[in-house]
Amino acid sequence: MTTAMGIPKERTVGPVGGSEHVVIDTMTGQTGSYADWVAAFAERWADGKANLDRFMQILGPDIVLKAPGLRTTRGRAAGYRAFAGTFAALPDLTGKVLRWSASEDVLFIEMTFSATIGRQLISWNDVDRIRFENGVAVERVAYFDPSRIRRAYLGSFAGWRQLWRIRRIR
């Protein structure tokens, strides 16, 4: 069974942090299920750069963002700057949700990212672990092997230029 966006529906195992609702939009206070949160996450990653403002709205104000090879950020403003820098260097970066699962206050999202690096389109797999407190996303840890991305950056002059832009912005 899948959602309208083609995302597989998964069951939540156990109580969801004492609540069946998570915050989907921190600006309006809109709540929903984990399935609703994943649908919002997937929609925003489908065109990441264009949806950066909306993406940050599904994350809590004190969100901690961690990913291999990148500095950990704390807070929505720092996260926004980090994502903006990434999109400046990788304007076509997108993510496609493959499947997800939730247990208690943790959500796991398996996805595939794609971007042009050094004039070559590459893809890599990722699992995001998102932790919720009182229904709000407070931590996102991305798990992926960065070696393919590094090779793409270092394998051409165009890749080196992109890498320089990312480092300069951050």
Q: 39-66, pLDDT tens digit by residue?
A: 999 999 999 899 999 999 999 999 999 9
Domain boundaries of the chain, sorted by first residue: 12-169
Do the Cβ atoms of 73 and 64 come closer than 8 Å? Answer: yes
Q: Letter for the amino acid at 57?
A: Q
Q: Which fold has domain 12-169?
A: Nuclear Transport Factor 2; Chain: A, (3.10.450)
Do the Cβ atoms of 90 and 70 come closer than 8 Å? Answer: no
Model pLDDT, residue 20: 60
pLDDT tens sequence across 107-162: 999 999 999 999 899 999 999 999 999 999 999 999 999 999 889 988 888 888 88
Model pLDDT, residue 70: 85
Q: What is the pTM of this model?
A: 0.84
Strand residues in 19-75 grouped as ranges (E): 22-25, 30-32, 64-66, 73-74
Do the Cβ atoms of 113 and 22 come closer than 8 Å? Answer: no
Using the structure block, give the residue that is written with the tokens 């699992």.
Answer: 127
Q: Is the pLDDT of residue 12 over 50?
A: no
Model pLDDT, residue 13: 40
Q: Is the pLDDT of residue 100 over 90?
A: yes
Measure the CA–CA gap between 76 and 9, rounded to whole angstroms. Answer: 28
